[in-house]
Structure formats: structure tokens, C-alpha cells
Structure 1
Amino acid sequence: MARFLISDHHFGHDNIIEYCDRPFSSVGEMDTSLLNRHYGTVDTDDLLVHLGDVAMDMSTGEDTIAYFEQLDADLLVRGNHDVGLDPEDAPFPVVDHCTLSHDGYDFYCTHRPADVPDGWDGWVLHGHHHNNDTETYPFVAHDRRRVNVSSELLNFRPLRLDALTDLFESCPDGSRFRDVDAAGEYLDRRE
């Protein structure tokens, strides 16, 4: 069993295609592609922590529940577009934040990096900023111990937590990678 992370699928959100320059011609194509990439990456016995904005669901929570269940995900760290979901109505755990540990690294998981408590000394896993400001919120900002797991920066595929910690071990302090492709190119050059 592996642990995976992702945020900001925004299922059913037509405007996100233009807003984040997603490579899809319609919301139907986007939703199908996001699900197919998920199924091609995550096995049924794996654990998926979703860091928010599953769907564009500001009122009832029904879309968030439906898509979250299609992902067979395990824990939702609620994002600003999941506000229609009452955690008590969800058939899965819904939290505002959580912490994870792996290979000696401690992670604070939140949707918005601005919500990290003062004094947190470990790494921060977040979403919310998509690919709109990768100078400030890149995939990995080793110098700030921040990781942006917005789906656009992960090629719309969940990221294995152990692959992330392996990347940390392979990179010098201060490394910054715009997205997973840039991190992969760096690792390929080292071989």
C-alpha cells in the first residue's frame, strides 16, 4: 500500500480549463481524463489524501461526495470549493488539516498554505494556487519546505509520498521545481 497526494481536481468546473490553461477542450473531457489518470496511478489498496477542491461544489456537497467516491479516496482536507460539504454528511473523513510522517519527514497538510500555524517546523503540503504563480508556489520549494500538489503541477496524477521524499533526498537544499516534469528533468540529468 502506497500513500498518494493531490489537490484541486475541480471536477465539473468549466472555467478552470481557461483559468489554469488546462489541456482539455471541455469539462467532460477534463473529468474523464482526470479519472483515467487517477485510475492509471492509484491501486484500490492505496491510500489517497486529497488536499481540497475535489469539485466546484459550493452549495450541497453532493458533487464532492460523488467524485471523491469515484476516486476511492480516503481523507479529504477540505478546500475553499468544498465548502458546500458538511463533514457530518460525508461518508468519509473530512478535516481542515492533518499531519503525515514519512521517512523522517513531517508534513502539515492543508489546502491553503496561508493556513499553516505559526511555529510549524516541518514541511507543508498544500494546493489552492494551481499553476498560476509557480514562482511563489512551485511544485517543490525546498528552501521554504513547501510542496504544491495542485493537479496541474502533477500532470493531473496523484503523487506518491515516498517518491516525494526520495526527491528531497536527491536534491540539494534550496532546490525549486516548477512542476513534476522539471523535477524529473533534474533527476534525469543526475544519472
Structure 2
Amino acid sequence: MARYVISDHHFGHSNIIEYCDRPFTSVGEMDSALLDRHYETVDPDDLLVHLGDVAMDMRDGRETIEYFQQLGGDLLLQGNHDVGLDPAAAPFPVLDSCVLEHGDYRFYCTHRPEDVPDDWDNWVIHGHIHNNDPETHPFVAPAEQRVNVSCELLDFRPISLETLTGVLDAATTSLRDVAAAKALVEE
């Protein structure tokens, strides 16, 4: 069983295509591609921690629940576009943050990077920023011990903690996206 992380799918959100320059012509194409890439990557017995904004669901949480269940998600860290979801009504755990460990790494996981406690001195995994500020919030920023798992930076596929920690072991400078990380690891 592998553990995977990702954020910011924004299922059903047509404006996100233009906002984040996603390579899709319609929300239907985007939603299908996001689900296909997920199923190609994550096995049913793997664990998925989603760092928020599953859907553009500001009303009642139904879309968030529907898409999260299609992903077979295990833990949702509620994002700012998941606000319609009442955590007590969800059929899966919904938190603001969590700590994950893998090997020698400890990760504080949250949707928004500004929500990290001031006294946290290990790695942070977050979403929320998408691909809109790659200088400040690239996929991996070793000096800041930050990882941005917004799906645009991951080629729209969850990344396993095993792969992520391998990238962190090899990274000495910031990596814009998962393609840059793959090139580094393959060297």
C-alpha cells in the first residue's frame, strides 16, 4: 500500500481551465482526464490524502463527496472551495491539517501554505497556489522545506510519498514541477 498526495482538482470548475492554463477544452474533458490519470496512478488499496479543493463546491458539499468517493479518497484536508462540505456529514475524515511521516521526513499537510504553524520546523506539503506563482511556490522549494502538490504541478496525477521523498533526497534547488523532478531523478 502506497500513500499519495495531491490537491486542487477543482472538478466541475470551468474557469480553472483558463485561470491555470490547463490543457483541456472543456470541463467534461478535464474531469475525465483527472479521473483517468488518478486511476492510472493509484491502486484501490493505496491511501489518498487530498489537500483540498476537490471540486468547486461552495454550497452543500455534495460535489466534493461525489468526486472524492470517485477518487477512493481516504482523508480530505478541507480547502477554501470545499467550504460547502460539513465535515461531520462527510462519509470520510475531513480535517484542516495533518502530519504525515515517511522515512526520515515529517510533513505538515494543509491546503493553504499560510496556515502552517509558526513553530513548525520540518517539511510542509500544501496546495492552493496552483501554478500561478512558481517562483515563490514551485513544486519543491528545498530552502523553505515546502512542497506544492497542486495538480497542475504534478501533471494532474497524485504523487506517492515514496517518490516525493526520493525527489527531496535529490533536490538541491527549487523544482518548478514534477517534470523537472523526473529529469533530476533520472540523471
Output the TM-score relative to the length of structure 1.
Answer: 0.97
* Equivalent residue number for residue 104 of structure 2: 104
The alpha-carbon deviation at position 171 of structure 1 amounts to: 2.5
1:136-163 deviation per Cα after TM superposition (whole angstroms, max 9, x unaligned): 0000000100000000000000001011
Q: Which residue of 2 aligns with 1:153?
A: 153
The corresponding residue for 2:14 is 14
2:30 maps to 30
Using the alignment, how far apart are the partners of 1:71 and 1:127 within structure 2?
17
User: For residue 67 of structure 1, what is the aligned residue in structure 2?
Assistant: 67
Per-residue CA deviation, residues 63-82 of structure 1 (Å, 9 max, x unaligned), is 00000000000000000000
CA distance in 2, matches of 1:168, 1:81: 29
Which residue does the alignment assign to 2:167?
A: 167
Who is 1:90 aligned against?
A: 90
Structure 1 unaligned runs (5+)? none
Q: Distance in 2 between matches of 1:34 and 1:80?
A: 20
3-state secondary structure, aligned to 1:49: strand
In structure 2, distance between residues paired with 1:102 and 1:187: 18
Match of residue 124 from structure 1 = 124
Unaligned residue ranges in structure 2 (runs of 5+): none
Amino acid at match of 1:181: A
Indicate yes or no: 2:69 matched with 1:41. Answer: no
For each residue in 1:15-70, what CA deviation from the matched residue of structure 2 results, as whole angstroms up to 9, or x when unmatched?
Answer: 00000000000000000000000000000000000000000000100000000000
Aligned to 1:182: 180
Alpha-carbon displacement from aligned partner over 1:89-119 (angstroms, at most 9, x marks no partner): 1000000000011111110000000000011
Aligned-residue identity in percent: 67
| SS of 1:82 mapped into structure 2 | coil
Distance in 1 between the 2:70 and 2:133 partners? 30
Paired residues of 2:51 and 2:79 also in contact (CA < 8 A):
yes
Which residue identity is paired with 1:101?
E
* Letter of the 1:52 counterpart: G
* 1-structure distance, mates of 2:16, 2:162: 29
CA distance in structure 2 between the partners assigned to 1:82 and 1:183 by the alignment: 29
TM-score (norm 2): 0.99
> Matched residue of 2:4: which SS?
strand
Distance in 2 (CA, whole Å) between partners of 1:39 and 1:168 is 25
Contact 2:138–2:176 at 8 Å: present in 1 too? Answer: yes
Runs ≥4 residues deviating over 4 A: none
Aligned length: 187
Cα distance in 2 for partners of 1:132, 1:168 equals 22
